[in-house]
Structure 1
Amino acid sequence: MSWPRSPESALTEPSVSSIAHIETSDLERLFQERHVVRQGLHQRHIQMIGLAGTVGSGLFLNSGQALAMGGPLGAFLGYTLMGLAASSVVLVIGEMGTLVPLSGGPVRYSELFLDPAVSFANGWNQVCSYLVTIPAEIVAASILVEFWSSVSSAIWITVFGILILVTALLFIRIYGEIEFVFAMLKIFLILGVNIMALVITCGGGPSGQSIGFRYWKNPGPFVQYFGIEGSLGRFLGFWSTLNYATFAYAGVQNITLAGAETRSPRRAIPKATKRVLIRILIFYVLSIFMIGLVIPSNDPYLLHLTGTASQSPFVLAARRAGIPDIPSIINAAILASAWSAGNSFMLFGSRILFGMAIQGHAPAIFARLNRFKVPYAAIAFFGAFMCLGYMVVSETATTVFSWLQAVVGVSTLIDWIVICVVYLRFYYSCKKQGIDRHKELPWAAPFQPFSTWASLVLLLLVLFTGGFSTFIHGHWNTETFLSAYINIPIFLVLYFGYKWWKKTRIIALVKIPIVGLIQFSLSQETSDYEPRRKRKFEKVNFLWA
């Protein structure tokens, strides 16, 4: 493992006493990251970044497509099923992240518990994903502004790009506070539109007409996918919603990506992790359920993609009920969401690249820090690729940019699958070495390994059937096929290419240094300790604390 030797990223040498029980010198160097970067993120920051921080325009704008493809019950089941899988992924990330709080989070765990080649392949897979998703969110924000203004989108792309760069280059604490405020706004928006939907359903709108479960009866709880009749068509409609749900949940697994910059990770990460299921149910599953109540799945406007609030199913429902001024309010909130998601993706991408540079899987320059102790070189690298957003100015380039977004979208599924496999290696290594997870680890995730195995099987099925629509007679689409599957060979080429070049091997279960990690984690407990302060309304703040 090579380390950068630039002045900005030089690490202090470990003392003899601190590594007395560490099995390899590399373990000590991994934990030195906590002395290089600044621990400015609190528990409330990381959980909001991991959950609400990644809620961009997708949940508010594109959830209507899931309803149109699967029907109200199909979309509800799809979001629920993928929500359970996402929760399982977050739980195991929390267990490993509490023990090993490093920059880059899941990408780094592959190096320790599975194979450096997996870390390399998944790391660059995620970097490439964020190189496209960051400008995508900036483009989404610029289109949302066009709802009120006809000024060229290129101007707004520049404005939002500069704001994201400035935020990312400041103290990590400033970024955390900004994202916390954005996340709270999104939470209030989600709760607000759900309350509005409930009022409309119960007949509290201007029309005074009660809807109830009318749209579950006509046009029905499921949609016949591509006109295929019978149970097969209904099942395919439900199955198609899993892809929409996956993209909606993308990013929730990143609560430990800034682990080295998190204060008191032994307490903050488990607390942020344990409540993720109830938040997914409230923010995502409840929202898709309410959408299915207030708008029929055969509404033609659900598939009319404008990029502004006018395509939001909540706006469509408000217009049906005769409620004015809703589009502007929702558009403003979605604009903040897109900007916030861009901020979060910049954090995720830059910390992955920073962690890879420390591992020697990326050029050492990306490990350099500025005076605020943030990886400015990695941030600048992602900032340069924001220029991809200007492609929307050209009609031809817009098509290319949309295709790039679809290609990298599958990287979320690959990341979740890798996390499950890495955790299973970690879990069975603990059993092999006689380590009681619940007694010896800082925190142990519940329902293991059963929930991880179930999630892994589901995620593999979704990955390999992601482009199933192209195999239906008369519906072949080359673009859809490539976007669904091209990430798989890219990942395999990166994995086997690195494995051949570096001659890496899968780490044997008995050689995974869990004992050393536990010993060093205990030695850091005192220095990481942060006094717990009692707060008002502590028992009812499960949404934000």
Structure 2
Amino acid sequence: MIALAGTIGTGLFLASGRALAAAGPVGAILGYLLTGILVSGVVLSIAELAALVPLTGSYVRYAACFFDPALSFAIGWNHVYAACVAIPAEITAAAVLISFWTTSVSNGVWITVMGLLIIGTNLFFIRVYGELEFGFSILKILLVVGTIIMGLCIDLGGVPGQPRLGFQYWKNPGPFVQYLGIEGSLGQFLGFWTTFSNAAYSYSGVETIAAAAAETKNPRRNIPKAAKRIFVRVLLFYVLSIFIVTLIVPSNNSFLLKSSGTATQSPFVIAANLAGIQVIPHIINAIVLTSAWSSGNSTMLGASRTLYGLAREGHAPKIFLRTNRFGIPYVSVGFVSVFMALGYMTLEDAASNVFSWLQDLVAVAAIIAWMVICLVYLRFYYGCKRQGIDRSELPWAAPFQPFAAWMALLGFGLILLTGGYAVFIHGKWNIETFFSHYFNIPLIFLLYFSYKFIKKTKIVGLDEMPIRYYIDIANQNPEPEEAPAKGWRKVNILWS
């Protein structure tokens, strides 16, 4: 259940509003669909590696095995950096959501409360972390299903006193938006192109499907099974949700979450308000608020354990190895917690402005992580070819390879380089936008080449990769056969 709903969060419930406002209904759907296709290539790549090498640390460890220890160092610290930005993004999102109910209390109060909750969960209530996340996941899935049903009812005229909408908002104000005031097809295309950053933020974390490979029962069977269903999840939870929103919220609605900071509601809440439904907006807002806490919890857990792992590998100071009597790396938790203070920027600027800025930082870090996964997989793939290893010998050979990995690598590379294109248009220069879209690129190169220069590491040769070693381990430790599905499980396409 946690794996199923792990990537559903404020990216879907809040960032989708920004995408709709910038690109229009068709542009938003296309952006989320195309990004979902590229992300599917990333998941197929990481799942094939995880099925063969179910190690803790996931792609951070695979980078050392199949590419270069320096890349492992760089992407490990990039993951920590992304988490240090993502957690204040979630806390800021929570402030945006709470302001739906009250604007009389300072955002600083809600940021402090949410921060303390996340720290407390990770330091003192870690034993109930699984139960908390399980409950949050159920709420998120119920919310997605509920909003889809609600949206269909609103669109088809099922709300008393409300007319049938159909595709009215696709015609007026139109399928696309004239972005940046640029008229014609160019302005519409630029608006569509901006959705990739929003979609990347929404999908960020999808690669963690392999993060717990070493702790998963029968990983060589279950991780590929989950990976094969990723596209179905993308279609059901993201594309279908965005599609429903475009039917019931016009792209020019003044309450959509824009960088102007004049609105503090998600598009799902706006839809319920437009339909005159009084109670539903409060329910939606409350559940989305729990998803912000849930996402902050899981990000803190992953970041603190990654930092602990980096310290064990000698890639971080040894002080991060300190744990309390419950085995929790409290120094690592404390280090990541310090960066929650970034959320206090909302006291000087609109909460939605800061959320958009942090969202871009997280999206770029996620894109770089996805590109590294594809790069490491392609090295592994061509290593198999060089060593004469047929992919049928692997525990699981992902379909559409190496084309899926190449497609994702080149696609995300293009999105990474053009994500902040707006700042290069005459009169549109903005230092915050430029920084949020391009800061991570020199950072990853600095981390990689600094470690490479200091430690004198070398790229692992195609002939030197320990692929046969891991295949032998898999063959010596066969997993039990899966019991045949019965009843409704025969048609289950989401989870087992």
> Structure 2-normalised TM-score?
0.91
Are residues 1:300 and 2:254 paired? yes
Question: For residue 485 of structure 1, what is the amino acid of its counterpart?
Answer: Y
CA contact (8 A) 1:137 1:339 kept: yes
Runs of 4+ in 1 over 6 A off after TM superposition: 170-173, 305-309, 396-402, 533-536
Structure 1 pair 497–304 and aligned structure 2 pair: CA distance change class (3 A):
closer
RMSD: 2.8
Are residues 1:288 and 2:239 paired? no
Partner of 1:133 in structure 2? 86
For each residue in 1:485-524, what CA deviation from the matched residue of structure 2 results, as whole angstroms up to 9, or x when unmatched?
1111111111111111111111111111111112223344
Question: For residue 422 of structure 1, what is the amino acid of its counterpart?
Answer: V
Structure 1 pair 249–343 and aligned structure 2 pair: CA distance change class (3 A):
same
Shift of 1:397: 11
Structure 1 pair 304–451 and aligned structure 2 pair: CA distance change class (3 A):
closer
Are residues 1:491 and 2:441 paired? no
Are residues 1:195 and 2:149 paired? yes
Partner of 2:287 in structure 1? 333
The 5 A counterparts of 1:104-503 are: 104-148=57-101, 150-169=104-123, 174-304=128-258, 311-368=265-322, 370=324, 372-393=326-347, 403=357, 406-437=360-391, 439-503=392-456
Shift of 1:380: 3.4
For each residue in 1:357-377, what CA deviation from the matched residue of structure 2 results, as whole angstroms up to 9, or x when unmatched?
232211234345555555444
Partner of 1:538 in structure 2? 489
Aligned residues: 495
Structure 1 pair 371–258 and aligned structure 2 pair: CA distance change class (3 A):
farther
Partner of 1:95 in structure 2? 48
3-state SS of the aligned residue for 2:6?
helix
- Gapped regions of structure 2 (runs ≥ 5): none
Find the aligned partners of 2:481 and 2:319 in 1 and give their Cα distance: 33
For each residue in 1:15-61, what CA deviation from the matched residue of structure 2 results, as whole angstroms up to 9, or x when unmatched?
xxxxxxxxxxxxxxxxxxxxxxxxxxxxx54x23xxx2232222112
Shift of 1:211: 1.1
For each residue in 1:423-466, what CA deviation from the matched residue of structure 2 results, as whole angstroms up to 9, or x when unmatched?
100111111111122x2212221110111111111101100001
Structure 1 pair 245–399 and aligned structure 2 pair: CA distance change class (3 A):
closer
Shift of 1:132: 2.1
Find the aligned partners of 2:97 and 2:355 in 1 and give their Cα distance: 18
Q: Which moved more, 1:195-204 or 1:382-391?
A: 382-391
Find the aligned partners of 1:161 and 1:537 in 2 and give their Cα distance: 41
Find the aligned partners of 1:498 and 1:410 in 2 and give their Cα distance: 22
Structure 1 pair 374–543 and aligned structure 2 pair: CA distance change class (3 A):
farther
Shift of 1:400: 7.8
Find the aligned partners of 1:79 and 1:195 in 2 and give their Cα distance: 20
CA contact (8 A) 1:258 1:351 kept: no
Partner of 1:56 in structure 2? 9
Are residues 1:80 and 2:23 paired? no
CA contact (8 A) 2:122 2:333 kept: yes
CA contact (8 A) 1:61 1:309 kept: no
Find the aligned partners of 2:31 and 2:187 in 1 and give their Cα distance: 15
For each residue in 1:290-346, what CA deviation from the matched residue of structure 2 results, as whole angstroms up to 9, or x when unmatched?
111112222222245698995221222222222222221111011111011011111
Find the aligned partners of 2:260 and 2:181 in 1 and give their Cα distance: 25
CA contact (8 A) 1:61 1:307 kept: no
Structure 1 pair 309–326 and aligned structure 2 pair: CA distance change class (3 A):
farther
3-state SS of the aligned residue for 2:255?
helix
Find the aligned partners of 1:98 and 1:314 in 2 and give their Cα distance: 38
- Gapped regions of structure 1 (runs ≥ 5): 1-43
Find the aligned partners of 2:261 and 2:366 in 1 and give their Cα distance: 22
Structure 1 pair 256–466 and aligned structure 2 pair: CA distance change class (3 A):
same
Find the aligned partners of 1:223 and 1:275 in 2 and give their Cα distance: 33
Structure 1 pair 265–309 and aligned structure 2 pair: CA distance change class (3 A):
farther
Find the aligned partners of 1:395 and 1:208 in 2 and give their Cα distance: 37
Structure 1 pair 152–544 and aligned structure 2 pair: CA distance change class (3 A):
farther
Question: For residue 323 of structure 1, what is the amino acid of its counterpart?
Answer: I
Question: For residue 472 of structure 2, what is the amino acid of its counterpart?
Answer: Q
Partner of 1:32 in structure 2? none
For each residue in 1:83-138, what CA deviation from the matched residue of structure 2 results, as whole angstroms up to 9, or x when unmatched?
00111111111111122222221111111111111111111112111112113313
Question: For residue 225 of structure 1, what is the amino acid of its counterpart?
Answer: Y
3-state SS of the aligned residue for 2:256?
helix
Find the aligned partners of 1:248 and 1:322 in 2 and give their Cα distance: 28
Find the aligned partners of 2:487 and 2:120 in 1 and give their Cα distance: 33
Partner of 2:18 in structure 1? 65
CA contact (8 A) 1:171 1:372 kept: no
Question: For residue 52 of structure 2, what is the amino acid of its counterpart?
Answer: L
Find the aligned partners of 1:131 and 1:313 in 2 and give their Cα distance: 27
Find the aligned partners of 2:370 and 2:36 in 1 and give their Cα distance: 13
Partner of 1:21 in structure 2? none
Find the aligned partners of 1:403 and 1:492 in 2 and give their Cα distance: 22
> Structure 1-normalised TM-score?
0.83
CA contact (8 A) 1:304 1:311 kept: no
Structure 1 pair 261–152 and aligned structure 2 pair: CA distance change class (3 A):
farther
Find the aligned partners of 1:332 and 1:393 in 2 and give their Cα distance: 23
Q: 2:462 aligns with which of 501, 509, 513?
A: 509
Shift of 1:266: 1.8
Shift of 1:142: 4.3
Shift of 1:173: 7.2
Find the aligned partners of 1:174 and 1:543 in 2 and give their Cα distance: 25
Question: For residue 229 of structure 1, what is the amino acid of its counterpart?
Answer: E
Find the aligned partners of 2:440 and 2:255 in 1 and give their Cα distance: 31
Structure 1 vs Structure 2: percent identity of aligned residues? 57
Find the aligned partners of 1:229 and 1:461 in 2 and give their Cα distance: 24
